[in-house]
Structure 1
């Protein structure tokens, strides 16, 4: 009897001892599933934005008629003032006299001849180029259409600056390092005549005549000029010179034909000649 009691007691003790262990096992949380690390995504560089589509170049003008002519000078040309020689070696080869009135064999150079008025034709998008070579603006006189930019280049191995003026009002002033990068500028839409000058070399001058249409030309050393692909019609033709003023003529152009025009200037400001058409 004592032995049975002792056995029960021992079993009870063992069972009580094992009970907390069982309770601990039951209370233990179930193991969490292994968490796989998220795959590392390679950083993709953002695609560069596509540049804005370039404005298509206007189709070249075709058809129409042509104006050909010459600009002459009557009388004795005014004496050109001497330009002091420059000590800048980059200026070697520059003209030794003022170049506003250039007459050879009675023909006048650097006269801008243009058709006045607005015409429904494409306008050039390429800039009008002005170069600085041997301390001289080249060309001295040229035309540009409204909205057409100008590109200023320095081909000299010396410093220039290009100051643009409309009358006495400054439009812009840009430095031009020796053989530096060309600089492009837009002209105000309401400006018709722009003068360029260099403050470092004060004899340097150029003119840009801004026109409402692309029908213009500058007379060459022989006084000649040509305006092509002008739509048929009747127009006012104007010849402009930087110191001698303007001359005008009425002209009619027919499709596929060439018409002649001539202009005459003189040193006499009271000259009555206003140009002519042949």
Structure 2
């Protein structure tokens, strides 16, 4: 709390702009300047008819310069967790098999491959491999290191890329290994980074890169257009990936108000035909959602987020 006055509800300052707080029907301006800060009354009589909890709630959603949370007087903030699930809303996208027109004997002797882009549990409607993250302010940061990691190796197996997504820290070594008997022409591109291309010519051949730009990298194969995967590069610990049921956990989160972000690479795949043959696939755009979350000291905040195309 900023200032030396005793406030009914702690008003924690998360920027030098300070904030506002209600105490015994009075409205105070909170300044975070200096070591202890200060509290100054700016309104009085008419506020006596308004409850302090109502004011606290109103300012909590209307002012981003502070967080007003009911905590025990003098008690230190205890890191908390966000536990939740990402669900698919609406009609499930079609999961038509990929038609294979090249390297058929090695990739798909029956002429088709399972569509691995539709990542929805048909029973629970949970979305797997959705990226979930927070964008905390510097004062809300704990560690600066990414703690949830999925591994950093892609394998080209049976003409598909496994896994379909990896979450790594900036500059991590990401390895690409060919386990097929056919060649793969790999392309890795991102909106803020130069496109990287390389060839995996034979069984056991491998290449690696160290992505340094934050964000999402798309992995494709020019020879096998149905092959796709994603690299996510993060620089703080508040990133994670949903499991096969769409569940996720973010731990060690400081109390406060956050925007929870959810992203999935998209599930649609439309064949591009030329002369009756499939020459490529046009993938749908990523799907995203955001949700405002209040994290209280020492508590697990439960949240559910819906995605749809």
> Which residue, out of 100, 104, 115, partners 2:117?
100
**Which residue in the other structure is 1:123 paired with?**
145
Residues 1:92 and 1:137: Cα distance change in structure 2 (over 3 Å): farther
Counterpart check, 1:138 vs 2:162: yes
2:307 to 265, 274, 278: 265
Residue 76 of structure 1: aligned partner: 91
- Looking at structure 1, the residues matched to 129 and 79 of structure 2 have their Cα atoms a distance apart, in angstroms, of 25
Contact 2:142 2:254 in 1 (8 A): no
Partner of 1:156: 180
Shift >6 Å, 4+ stretches = 92-95
Check 1:91–1:116 CA distance in 2 against 1; reply closer, same or farther (3 A cut): farther
Q: Which structure: greater strand fraction?
A: 2
The DSSP-based 3-state class of the residue aligned with 2:113 is coil
Question: Which residue of 173, 186, 197 corresponds with 1:173?
Answer: 197
Say whether residues 1:235 and 2:258 are aligned partners.
Answer: yes
Shift of 1:172: 0.8
Alignment match, 2:236: 213
Structure 1: give runs of 5+ residues left out of the alignment: 1-62, 268-278
- Higher RCO, 1 or 2 (CA under 8 Å, sep at least 6)? 1
Tell me which structure has the larger Cα radius of gyration.
Answer: 1
Change (3 A) 1:232 1:81: same
**Taking structure 1 as the reference length, what is the TM-score of the superposition?**
0.62
Coordinate RMSD, CA, aligned: 3.2
1:83, distance to aligned residue in structure 2 (A): 0.7
TM-score with structure 2 setting the length: 0.56
Q: Give the length in aligned residue pairs.
A: 204
Task: Give, in whole Å, the separation in 1 of the partners of 2:105 and 2:287.
Answer: 34
Offset at residue 77 of structure 1 (A):
1.3
The answer for the alignment partner of 1:251 in structure 2 is 293
Q: Structure 2: 5+ residue runs without aligned partners?
A: 1-77, 267-285
Contact 2:257–2:292 (CA under 8 A) maintained in structure 1? yes
| 1:29 equivalent in structure 2 | none
